[in-house]
Amino acid sequence: MRKTVQTVSGKPLNLSDYEQALLEGEAGEAMQFVMQLVVRAARIMDAPRLLETDYLHMDACHYYGRAHLDFARYLVNSNIRFGIRAWTNTVPASLIQKEVREEADAVVLKEARELADLYIAMGAKPVWTCAPYQLPGSPVFGEHIVVAESNAVSYFNSVIGARTNKYGDFLDVACGLTRRVPEAGLHTDKGRRAQIHIDLAKVPEELRETEFFCHVLGHLMGRVSGNRIPVITGLPAKTPKDSLKALAAAGAASGAIGLYHAVGITPEAPTLEAALQDRPAEAFYRVTPRNLVEARDSLSTTAGGSVDMVALGTPHFSFTEFARLMPLLDGRKIHSDVAFYVSTSRHVAALATQKGWIEALEKAGVTVLVDTCTYFTPAVRGCKGQVMTNSAKWAYYAPGMLPVKVAFGSLRDCVESAVRGEVARDPTTWSARHWGVSE
Amino acid sequence: MSCRSLPVLDILNPGTAHGTVLKLSEPLSFWGGFNPVDGRIIDQSHPEVGKSITGTILALPGSRGSAGTPGGVAEALRRNVGPVAILLAQPDVNITIGAQVADHLYATETPVLALAEIEFAWLETGMQVTVSDVGVAIKEDGGIKS
């Protein structure tokens, strides 16, 4: 007789014959173990059943310690492989470039590379990017998917309308191998209803059209939303994907936002009422110019002065971001005291190479880094002192992870500062008036 | 009466253990806020920063933020610097998965139990407790509230 599993609230977790067979060990001990992980999570999340998935973007390939390696070794030794699209997140240091920090731990680097190889052996597609949504063949509207990287969770849920919870270590791989996710949270209609209404009516329209603004708005949105799902009104209809990426990344960093809606832009928010599923918002927040300037300024931990490094591409630089960077550089050279890094995926780097951009960038003194991110400990040389970035996510995380002070600015400000060797912000776009604060 | 017994809301990961309670006043991120090499809390904004959780019955409201928590829990248990049991004020997927993976890979046994908040409130740092599938037994001379 079949043993029924009960969730934490005492409801039954209904399993199909296939799921039950895995749980009983009919596909071997390792598959039984990963199914046990999925079922354990489903119990805690109070899911009535499991849903089918055929896409995984895993973070378990990123080395954080020996336990990660032992988990992957165990699976590989058990001869199990992914039967679905399984893509890889960034790793601590590039797998094909030699760029690492002088102080990087050789054992960690070796084990990190072994871990990456193990997931390739399990059939993962080695894309090594935190922005998988920029790649062809990525998930589409309505798909149930398994994603671990916080900015990708938010982008897929918000901008694409695919459905994923934020999957932690091990569970991401377990869901991918069993091809099942618990029916709970952001996989359900009810779990996607907006809770807090964020309105931009008081923000100057010209400002709303900049990507720089979306980084700041994302940071503020994360702080005011906490665990609630926000819906934004007043974001321009033509807001580009790169700005929506900035919103996703910054909101997931400063808050726990796994999904945001933007009326007239994101697919589940044709209207405010649709995003709220015809119920009143639980909270309302009107963004004021003063809130914005305060949020913007909180992203810098240095007042100015010399720049030692510029970090672009958190999350990974897109093709269109490269297209915007090129004319800003316009044949000029990066100051010899500045290390200028752009992090991106191999896929986007290949497209930029075809355009001749990578060669031009290297000539100007820019290093294009693939597979990794500049805030991971072993990834790049010279990451100390004062760092300029256009990424709210980088600005939010780096001071806690690295011995650096951060100056936050626009993409244009980053380029100008890199050429001059000191923090240089456009006085017009940085002015109180531009941000709508009356003097 | 020599013992008070707190009922369990849910057994998230089975096992038995006994030891001394360390109660955290806020949730903890086991990646970024905790060092799995030496078992200490390193989140500078955490009220119990600097404390070691090694060998304790760790009572905490839950985990925070990062999807790296399961890895941090499993790595601490692998290195024998983790707690001997974890008591939660609400069920927590990330902590549970970390303990479950460590138990499978390293043959450890780290019970993770969820208690109702009203029961969780009874726990205090320094109490001697025994954790099992039937509940949490507090020794009376372990500093219990009267």
pLDDT value for B144:
47
The model's confidence at residue A211, banded by pLDDT at 50, 70 and 90, is confident
Q: Which residue did the predictor score with more confidence, A261 or A227?
A: A261
The model's confidence at residue A2, banded by pLDDT at 50, 70 and 90, is low
Comparing C-alpha atoms, which of A219, A403, A223, A401 is closest to residue A309?
A: A403
Q: Is the pLDDT of residue A74 over 70?
A: yes
Name the token pair of A195.
């809770």
Chain B environment of A40 (Cβ under 8 Å): 12-13, 96-97, 100
Q: Which residue did the predictor score with more confidence, B31 or B102?
A: B102
pLDDT value for B146:
40
Name the token pair of A355.
């355009």
Query: In the beta sheet, which residues pair with residue A285?
Result: A198
Q: Is the pLDDT of residue A257 over 90?
A: yes
CA distance A248 to A259: 8
B36 at the A interface (CB within 8 A)?
A: yes
Q: Is the pLDDT of residue A90 over 50?
A: yes
pLDDT value for A226:
84
Q: How far is A284 from chain B (nearest CA, A)?
A: 24
Instruction: Please answer yes or no on whether B67 and A59 come within 8 Å at the CB atom.
Output: yes
Name the token pair of A33.
């173990």
DSSP characters over A263-307: TTTSTT-SSHHHHTTTS--SEEEE--HHHHHHHHHHT-SS-S-B-
Q: At what angle do helices A211-225 and A289-298 cross, to 10 degrees?
A: 90
Q: Is the pLDDT of residue A149 over 80?
A: yes
Q: What is the mean pLDDT of chain A?
A: 95
Q: Is the pLDDT of residue B1 over 70?
A: no
Q: Is the pLDDT of residue A40 over 70?
A: yes
pLDDT for A263-290, tens place per residue? Answer: 999 999 999 999 999 999 999 999 999 9
A68 at the B interface (CB within 8 A)?
A: yes
- Residue that is written with structure tokens 């009203």 in the block: B118
Q: What is the mean pLDDT of residues A144-153?
A: 97
Residue A18 DSSP SS3: helix
Kindly identify which residue of chain B lies nearest to residue A172, measuring between CA atoms: B67
Name the token pair of A52.
């089918």
Q: Is the pLDDT of residue B16 over 90?
A: yes
Of B66, B67, B71, nearest to A167 by CB-CB distance is: B67
On whether the CB atoms of residues A389 and A219 are closer than 8 A, the answer is no
Name the token pair of A144.
């149930």
Q: How far is A50 from chain B (nearest CA, A)?
A: 16
Name the token pair of A298.
């909180």
Cβ contacts from A onto B, under 8 A: 90
Q: Percentage of chain A surpassing pLDDT 70?
A: 99
- A319 alpha carbon, distance to own chain's centre: 17
Kindly identify which residue of chain A lies nearest to residue B43, measuring between CA atoms: A400
Give, in degrees to the nearest 5, the angle at Cα A392 between A386 and A393: 95
Q: What is the mean pLDDT of residues A26-42?
A: 98
Q: Is the pLDDT of residue B142 over 60?
A: no
Give me the half-sphere count of Cα atoms (radius 13 Å) on the Cβ side of residue B89. 17
Q: Is the pLDDT of residue B2 over 80?
A: no
pLDDT for A420-432, tens place per residue? Answer: 999 999 999 999 9
pLDDT for A325-383, tens place per residue? Answer: 999 999 999 999 999 999 999 999 999 999 999 999 999 999 999 999 988 877 787 67
pLDDT value for B66:
67
Q: What is the mean pLDDT of residues B13-19?
A: 97
Q: How far is A167 from chain B (nearest CA, A)?
A: 7
How far, CA to CA in Å, does B61 sit from each of A184, B23, B28, B117, B133? Answer: 21, 9, 8, 9, 20
Residue B45 a catalytic site member: no
Q: What is the mean pLDDT of residues A86-97?
A: 92
Instruction: Please answer yes or no on whether A169 and B74 come within 8 Å at the CB atom.
Output: yes
pLDDT value for B24:
97
B9 at the A interface (CB within 8 A)?
A: yes
Chain B environment of A33 (Cβ under 8 Å): 104
Of B12, B74, B77, nearest to A44 by CB-CB distance is: B12
CA distance A122 to A31: 13
Phi, psi for residue A189 in degrees, rounded to 5: -60, -50
DSSP characters over A139-184: --TT-B-EE-SHHHHHHIIIII--B--B--TTHHHHHHHHTEEES-
CA distance B61 to B79: 24
The model's confidence at residue A206, banded by pLDDT at 50, 70 and 90, is very high
Of B9, B36, B67, nearest to A168 by CB-CB distance is: B67
Chain B environment of A150 (Cβ under 8 Å): 67
Catalytic residue among B2, B52, B63, B66: B66
Of B65, B68, B101, nearest to A71 by CB-CB distance is: B101
Kindly identify which residue of chain A lies nearest to residue B9, measuring between CA atoms: A8
Task: Please write down the HEC assignment for all residues of B67-81.
Answer: CCHHHHHHHHHHCCC
Task: Tell me how crowded residue B7 is: count the other CB atoms within 10 A of its CB.
Answer: 10
pLDDT for B111-140, tens place per residue? Answer: 999 999 999 999 999 999 999 988 899 987
Q: How far is A425 from chain B (nearest CA, A)?
A: 32
Comparing C-alpha atoms, which of A155, A169, A146 is closest to residue A57?
A: A146
Q: How far is B19 from chain A (nearest CA, A)?
A: 25
A29 at the B interface (CB within 8 A)?
A: no
Phi-psi region of A255 (alpha: psi -120 to 50; beta: other; left: phi over 0): beta
